[in-house]
Structure 1
Amino acid sequence: MASRTPPPDQFDRRLIVPMILGSLLNPVNSSMLAVALVPIGIAFGAPPSETIWLVSALYLATAVGQPVVGRLVDLFGPKTLYLVGAALVGAAGVLGALAPNLGTLVLARVLIGLGTCAGYPAAMYLLRTEGRRTGKDSPAAILSALAISVQVFSVVGPTIGGLLIDVGGWRAVFTVNIPLAAACLVLGALRIPTRRTLEASGLVPERGPARLDPLGMVLFGGMLVTAMLFLMDVQASTWYLPVAAVVLGALFVRQELRTPDAFIDLRVLGGNTPLLLTYVRQILAYVVSYSFLYGFTSWLEAGYGLTASQAGLVMLPLFAVAILTTALSGRSPALRSKLVVGAIAQVVACSGLLLVDADTSLVAIVCLLVVLGVPQGIVGLANQNALYFQADPDRIGASSGLLRTFTYLGALVASAANAAFFRGGADTSGLHDMGLFTAACGALLLVVVLVDRSLSRSRPSRRTAGATA
């Protein structure tokens, strides 16, 4: 980092830009692709059932990679992992810009998924170390800034993607990764401290010989991959995939319970009920969010007749309400009320899809997106804030990586559902099926919020009694 020493009672503001930029790489790539699926399908003559792999490949790679990279951040510090991830994203941008076929594009998306795994765990790790340095254990302003930036680009991404496609074609949504990765490399190299620097400052304990759990990581990855491959194309002939997922899951549990320095400490995680419920809320919320992002956006183009840029502009009200909601609620510690309001808004918005068809006025569609902007702005923020206090400080990287894993599991479930609902194209009948499915997910989210008593406290407990016994 630069030589200037930050004030002892203030967050080091030099870290904010690289933290936010690294965390944004994944949502930027997720959201921009929403309006590129149709033109990519036309360019390669591929139906939605094939182009959806561009979505699934990224989320599958990220769902597996996030906790793995998060654990590496815990062990080796944030800087090296951050820089390696940024380099992968830049390389994927070049590959996507030159891709001659759909398969190469899918490979580029896998590299993007792996490369974007480091940004968020690194940011949460830095938040923890800065909390120790300043003596302020509740960086609400920084957490809110992180959430707002992710919300901004998650929702404004379709608009930016549509404009890029109009100017440079669909390949532009891959090319944009090159300057973004370059900025991360420069800022990360200059501003993010190394593990050795943090140890010398007394902000983290000196690390002994690193003990990885490669077998646990492999089993975890295999379990997720086989389960998600089955969800992407549910049929009787692939019965062996869920069986393999169960077997690998059982082996993973056995390995983690027998390993002293486990990849995921299941004993601690199993006793931390509030954190487990946070993960459940995350996957439910993002099944709804990503169903809208990809399914509804595709319907706007194929079923409602809008162009890619028009579909992106129609999504702007969602962006505006999400940002406003996050900004207004960011400093409030009342997690339970945020989540109740968000879950109810999801149910209302998803139920509204049942009334939408090709003749629905644009005003009504915009009103529906305004309602969805409320949960988009507060649910993810509330879950992120809950995790900050619930997670074991020594495993904040792995725990925050798992939060992102459950985010992308939600995205994968949404992708699988959209592939089923829109098997013959993004038509209105499939949109109504999606509405029923997502309304049920929103209702289940509300139930999970109401039964979690730990949310009644302004600061959720880091561990339950069972976790500390």
Structure 2
Amino acid sequence: MSTALTRVVRRWRPGRDRDSESGFDRRLLAPMMTGAALNPVNSSIISVSLVPIGAAFGAPPAETAWLISALYLATAIGQPVMGRLIDLFGPRRLFLTGAALTGVAGVVGMLAPSLGVLVAARVLLGFGTCAGYPAAMYLIRSEARRTGEKSPAAVLTALAVTTQTIAVVGPSLGGLLVGVGGWRATLAVNIPLALLGLYLGARRIPALPGTARTDGRHPLRSLDLPGMGLFAVALLCLLLFLMDIGSGAWYLLVPTLAAGAGFAWRELRTEEPFIDVRVLGGNLPLVATYGRALLCYVVTYAFLYGFTQWTEQGRGLSASQAGLVQLPLFATAIVVSTLTGRRQAVRGKLLAGAVGQVAACALLLLLSDGSPVWMLPAVMIVLGVPQGLNSLALQNAVYHQADAERIGSSAGLLRTFGYLGAITASAANGAFFDQRADTGGLHHLAWFMLAASVLFLVLTVVDRSLRHLGEKSENPEKPEEGS
């Protein structure tokens, strides 16, 4: 654990145990951080192994892009579903189930005999890593309710720094694993991580009840399975279209719109909807936050996958060297998050993050096959500023804007929109790079990222609801006023 992250953790006001009169229970921090890290580590660690996997199976970038998209396809669907289950049943059982699936996926991926089996392992991995983040947000909200304290800035910062750290250090770790044990080691790493998650979850996460019911019905009776099914179909068709947008499969938009309309009709008429679109429709600031998350992750993951592949194929670095190039991004993001984490105000972070994204994307247009090596980490340093600000600000925004009784599913939806952005980035990588990640493709990708960054900036500037978000003391039972 880095020194900066250690300082963040120590700022969390510790409670000795769950029965303490006040103060957050610090024993929850380890399972929260471990669970929340499972998805970003698998999102980022594969970025440096795409080229060796393609070489092993004779697959071009357009095909290995499915390894990225498969994880996000499963996660985008699974996050709000798992979040809703956590809202209903509490976090412990779902956390342990997710950790177990992650371990199984690690074994399957490590032994995969073909690209198809490896893609299937990534799908299983996507579902397995869904529970960690919404469980962590549920636990934070539960502790805020138990202690009666306002929103825990240090805890939210520690969670954000964890996911940022893992996401950014993932390529460096991946490069090390590829160098030591080949690309299969990047899948095998999930086995010890899953075992750690199972141990911490079983020992430290309490058996908290889910949403209390007054009618005596079992929570399973309130599970909106038709709504979940229609949501999954609509999202699946949309993501399949985005992942292969160059093929002209416009027919996929028909089932997307049909399932989406059916989902909206169902959610407006059922007593206990999977996603309460009536509340969501009346909470436009939260919807805007989800939109910003999508745009933010388009840029983040286009950098993570596109830039990393270019450093290997366009600039000629090895997988280990490409991973090392990412280290300045890790260091900058951690420093920025640590310095700004105690201030809960959201708007300033988002504005600075938006400008930083625009600058980082513009720098990509200056790169060429012969660019000096020092320029690569320089770009990463510039990107580290928005990396350290945006995810923290988006997470804090959801914490303040979401309904307390649906914090799990709301946090899951934040990840869903983030993964929609990640899949859009993956589709763009496949479209612009096709057979090889060359400099021309990088520049086309940079213009695409620059457009998303400018739109992110505009959406932040015009959103008046952000002006005082996070500045007022917050009641843990409901969203802030004006949200």
| TM-score of Structure 1 vs Structure 2, range by shorter chain | over 0.9
Deviation at 1:6, TM superposition (A): 4.7
Letter in 2 for 1:287: V
| 1:142 alignment counterpart | 155
1:422-448 Cα distance to aligned partner (Å, 9 max, x none):
012100000000110001101000001
C-alpha deviations, 1:410-465, integer Å up to 9, x for none?
10000001110001210000000011000110100000101111111042896598
Question: Would you say the 8 A contact 1:140–1:331 is kept in 2?
Answer: yes
Q: Counterpart of 2:356 in structure 1: which amino acid?
A: A
Superposed, 1:179-218 pairs within 5 Å as 179-196=192-209, 208-210=217-219, 211-218=222-229
**Letter paired with 2:193:** L
CA–CA separation in structure 2 for the residues paired with 1:413 and 1:135: 40
Is contact 1:272–1:463 with CA below 8 Å preserved after alignment? no
**Alignment counterpart, residue 385 of structure 2, candidates 370, 374, 377:** 374
Cα distance, 1:107 vs structure 2:
0.7
Are 2:357 and 2:386, in contact at CA under 8 Å, matched by a contact in 1? yes
Conserved? CA contact 2:347–2:466, under 8 Å: yes
Deviation string 1:129-184 (CA, Å, 9 cap, x unpaired) is: 10011111211000000001111110000000100111111000010100100011
Whether 2:114 is the aligned partner of 1:105: answer no
Aligned residues: 460
- Counterparts in 2 of 1:375-414, with a 5 A limit? 375-414=386-425
Contact map agreement 1:349 1:368 (CA 8 A) in 2? yes
Does the CA-based 8 Å contact 1:273-1:464 persist in structure 2?
no
Alpha-carbon distance in structure 2 between the residues aligned to 1:6 and 1:21? 23
The AA in structure 1 aligned to 2:375 is A
Tell me the equivalent position of 1:153. Answer: 166
CA distance in 2, matches of 1:239, 1:434: 22
Contact 2:404–2:479 under 8 Å retained in 1: no
The one-letter amino acid of 2:466's match is L
Distance change (3 Å), C-alpha of 1:379 and 1:466: closer
Match of 1:84 in 2: 97
| Cα distance change, pair 313–421 in 1 and its aligned pair in 2 (3 A) | same
Q: What is the aligned counterpart of 1:178 among 169, 177, 191?
A: 191
Which of these residues, 358, 366, 379, is aligned with residue 369 of structure 2? 358
1:165 to 2:178 alignment: yes
Q: Secondary structure at the match of 2:24?
A: coil
- Is residue 465–residue 482 contact of structure 2 (8 Å, CA) maintained in 1? no
**Does structure 1 conserve the Cα–Cα contact (< 8 Å) formed by 2:137 and 2:407?**
yes
Q: Is 1:416 matched up with 2:427?
A: yes
Residue 337 of structure 2 corresponds to: 326
Q: Residue 374 of structure 2: SS of its match in structure 1?
A: helix
Structure 1 residue 72 and structure 2 residue 85: aligned?
Answer: yes
8 Å CA contact 1:23, 1:123 repeated in 2: yes
Matched, 1:63 2:76: yes
What are the Cα deviations for residues 242-290 of structure 1, in whole angstroms up to 9, with x where unaligned?
Answer: 1111111111101110111000000000000111111011010010000
Give deviations 1:94-126, integer Å, cap 9, x for gaps: 001111000110011001100011000100000
Match of 2:243 among 232, 245, 256: 232
- The 1:302/1:441 distance shift into structure 2, 3 A limit, reads same
Q: Is the 8 A contact 2:400 2:480 kept in 1?
A: no
In 1, the alpha carbon distance for the partners of 2:409 and 2:312 equals 38
Alignment deviations for residues 182-215 of structure 1 (CA, whole Å, 9 cap, x no partner):
011011011111134x89xxxx667742201111
Tell me the amino acid that sits aligned with residue 264 of structure 1.
I
Which range moved further: 205-214 or 273-282? 205-214
Which stretch shows the higher mean deviation, 239-248 or 457-466?
457-466
User: How far does residue 237 in structure 1 lie from its aligned partner after superposition?
Assistant: 4.8
Following TM superposition, where does structure 1 have runs of at least 4 consecutive aligned residues deviating by more than 4 angstroms?
A: 3-6, 204-207, 460-467
Find the partner of 1:241 among 247, 252, 270. 252
Are the aligned partners of 2:45 and 2:170 in contact in 1 as well (CA < 8 Å)? yes
**Matched residue SS, 1:180:** helix
Q: CA offset at residue 8 of structure 1?
A: 2.0
Q: 1:129 aligns with which of 142, 150, 158?
A: 142
Structure 1 counterpart of 2:258, which letter?
V
Shift in Å, 1:293? 0.2
Structure 1 range deviating more: 358-367 or 406-415:
358-367
How far did residue 236 of structure 1 move?
Answer: 6.0
**Aligned amino acid, residue 279 of structure 1:** Y
Over 3 Å counting, the alpha-carbon distance change for 1:46 and 1:13 in structure 2 is same
- Structure 1 distance, partners of 2:464, 2:250, is 39
Report what 1:38 is aligned to: 51
Q: 1:20 aligns with which of 21, 24, 33?
A: 33
Residue 195 of structure 1 aligns to a residue whose secondary structure is coil
Equivalent-residue separation in structure 2 for 1:190 and 1:276 (angstroms) = 36
TM-score between the two structures when normalised by the length of structure 1:
0.95
Is 2:347 the counterpart of 1:348? no
1:235 is displaced (CA, Å) by 4.3
Check the 8 A contact 1:272/1:464 in 2, yes or no: no
Partner of 1:417: helix, strand, or coil? helix
Q: Residues 368 and 5 from structure 1, CA distance in 2 versus in 1: closer, same or farther, beyond 3 angstroms?
A: closer
Asked if the contact 2:358–2:450 (Cα under 8 Å) also holds between the matched residues in 1, the reply is yes
Amino acid at match of 1:313: L
Change (3 A) 1:126 1:446: same
The one-letter code matched in structure 2 to 1:429 is: G
